[in-house]
Amino acid sequence: MTPRFTQALTLASTAHEGQVRKGTTIPYITHPVVVAGLVAQYGGDEDQQVAALLHDVLEDGGPHYAQQIGDQFGARVLAIVQACSDGQGQDPARKLTWTERKRAYLAHLRRAPDEALLVSGCDKLSNARAILDDLVTIGPSVFDRFNAKLEGAVWYYEALSQLFTDRKIPMAKALADTLQKIRRLVPAS
């Protein structure tokens, strides 16, 4: 672990202080740590691992962190974090629906560089694995936590999986395998 990694972990911990994973008591900071581990596992470099630790800071901590991320970790890390941030650059006066936001994010990812897609893909893999774990433990009611419910969540993760597969992002097969396990456990719609 380098000093940059530790500094990114500190910043992420500050930005996510007091937050928990949706519908759980699990401290949120565990998620970016898992994502950083997945990025390392799938061949990501130090900048990508640092970006993985910070991938939700702008969304959950606020856009004011952008300057600090750029100053402290460089333009490449900031660009990856921004590329992974759902809703960046959208008009704050017009709140988009969940479906509109997700469609816009998918369109954005289709143009994103592979280095950002690895971080985004590892984020989605971590989330899908958490959903699978909760599905096994508590059943289909896990989807009640999400605005999109079961149908929307499955649609979104299927679209993401196809995008990562089409772009040949290293974690794509692991996400597809996780989604296959989820499909076996959810009632047909």
Looking up residue 21, the CATH number of its domain turns out to be 1.10.3210.10
Give strand pairing partners of 20.
27
Please count the structural domains in the chain.
1
pTM exceeds 0.95: no
Range of the domain at 13: 3-185
111 CB-contact burial (10 Å; exposed 0-12 / middle 13-18 / buried 19+): exposed
C-alpha 147/C-alpha 145 separation (Å) is 7
pLDDT for position 175: 98
**pLDDT averaged per 10 residues in sequence order, the chain, 189 residues:** 92 94 90 98 98 96 95 98 78 76 95 97 97 92 86 94 98 98 83
